Structure 1
Amino acid sequence: MTLSLIGAGFGRTGTNSLKLALEQIGFGPCHHMVEVFINPKSAAHWQQALDGQPMDWEAVMAGYKSLVDWPGALFWRELWKASPKAKILLSVRDEESWFKSITNTIFVARSDPATHEDPVARDMARMVNELVDRAIGSTERDRDTVLAAYRKNIAEVKEEVQAEQLLVFDVKQGWAPLCEFLEVAVPDTPFPRTNSTDEFVARLNTRNAPKKP
């Protein structure tokens, strides 16, 4: 399936809410990092991309109509080249709010691949770590470095994508701009709101809780 919409925004910019919204208005299935966690073996595709190997993007995205969030958002240019008619959605949020969110979620969730006995989990941890390092452009996690990467991504997307093919979108804006951009009717239900920092941390704590004997 050729992608109709490609998300170019960083993780923690409302991408899970966007996934649900896109699937509700006919642009699903929508690929999101959650799909990689559901199918950990698919992390191998993204590791290959991180390693610079040639990619069959149509095969990787088979069955999906749209994509938001990392890992795919890191490769939005390559995906756009494979699906040149796709519209580009740049999800954004207040940068201070974003920095606080990513610091308390994704950065906390990073793990050392060597600590995983299961090879699939080990490969997943390696991929996620390399992905975040690549997105930030550094292994540093200080405020200035991280926010500089966030701003750089926004500036590059705006510069490289023609205005008529691009929507810069904050989920706080709700349905109207998204539906107008995609030329679909506005649903009569509230815009999805999910995967808050508290929800992310709760899932992380559940995942890391000691297993009962």
Structure 2
Amino acid sequence: MTISVIGTGVGRTGTYSLKLAINQLGAGPCHHMEEVLHKMPVQVPLWSAALGGQPDWQKIYSGYLSAVDWPTAGFFRELLKAYPTARFILTHRSPESWADSFGSTIFKLISERDQAPPEMKEWLEMAAGVIAKTGFPEGLDRDGLIKAFNAHNEAVKNTIPAKQLLVYEVKEGWGPLCKFLGKPIPSEPFPRTNDRAEFWDRVAGKI
């Protein structure tokens, strides 16, 4: 098994919906931060090593055919070298709406990690490091987040060959995604999930 579809869009750009869609199209299992959360003893040390410049992509993605969301999105340059024939998907949305969503979920969680339960702290430290590596260090205000979001998206477009990259909003539904992956359009509706309330439920382990 090897990774053939890689998401370069950061969290809160529809990455969970994309994960479900990729699985539904038969291009999974798809790795997502949720997988790290569910398999912290294995995944967190591997990603921490990657953050330190010692990635083992085969171990990180063992059992997966695709990957989206953080931590993956923070390593798109390294992953292009490791998987030069993969297809890449840049999920995006309005920078302003993204900054509001990210600021009230992931960024808030990271900034308050000193208050987290002990069993969550190693995961949160790794996540904070990956998010900072992607261009979102702690302390950015809303304007700073918007600027960094645009910069990340431009960096992806300037790095990934255009023929291998789909720039995509999940609100576009099945059409562009299925065309890009060479899959027939399912009869089921495109999955739409992980609003802000659901985000906090996932982090808390309620779902």
* TM-score over 0.5 for the pair: yes
**Aligned partners of 1:108 and 1:126: how far apart in 2?**
13
For 1:131 and 1:2, locate their aligned partners in 2 and report how far apart those are by CA, in whole Å. Answer: 22
Structure 1 position 49 matched with structure 2 position 50: yes
Q: Distance in 2 between matches of 1:37 and 1:89?
A: 22
Unaligned runs of 5+ in 2: none
Q: Distance in 1 between matches of 2:144 and 2:68?
A: 23
**What is the rounded CA distance, in whole Å, between the counterparts of 2:163 and 2:116 in structure 1?**
47
Counterpart-to-counterpart distance in 1, 2:117 and 2:190: 38
Determine if contact 2:10/2:69 at 8 Å carries over to the other structure: yes
Separation in 2, partners of 1:165, 1:64: 19
Instruction: Give 1:30's aligned amino acid.
Output: C
* Farther off after superposition, 139-148 or 169-178: 139-148
**Matched positions, count:** 204
One-letter amino acid of the structure 1 residue matched with residue 185 of structure 2: V
For 2:140 and 2:180, locate their aligned partners in 1 and report how far apart those are by CA, in whole Å: 34
- Which residue matches 1:188? 187
CA gap of 1:115–1:100, structure 2 versus 1, over 3 A, is: closer
Q: State the AA in 2 paired with 1:117.
A: P
Q: Which residue of 2 aligns with 1:29?
A: 29
Partner of 1:117: 118
Deviation at 1:46, TM superposition (A): 0.9
Q: Is the 8 A contact 2:100 2:142 kept in 1?
A: no
Q: Please, which moves more after superposition, 108-117 or 178-187?
A: 108-117
Work out the CA distance in 2 between the residues paired with 1:20 and 1:36. Answer: 16
Cα RMSD, aligned residues only: 1.8
CA shift digits 1:90-131 (9 cap, x unpaired): 01011111111101111222243575434xx32112112222
Larger mean Cα displacement after TM superposition, 58-67 or 174-183: 58-67
Deviations 1:175-199 (A, max 9, x none): 0000000011000010000101122
TM-score using structure 1 length: 0.89
Show the 5 A alignment for 1:1-213: 1-41=1-41, 42-52=43-53, 54-110=54-110, 111-113=112-114, 116-118=117-119, 121-204=120-203
Q: 1:116 to 1:197 in 2, by over 3 A?
A: closer
For residues 68 and 48 of structure 1, the distance between their equivalents in structure 2, rounded to whole angstroms, comes to 19
Q: What secondary structure is seen at the aligned counterpart in 2 of 1:136?
A: coil
Structure 2 length normalisation: TM-score?
0.91
| Larger-gyration structure (1/2) | 1
Identity %: 43
Counterpart code for 1:28: G
- Consecutive unaligned residues in structure 1, runs of 5 or more: 209-213
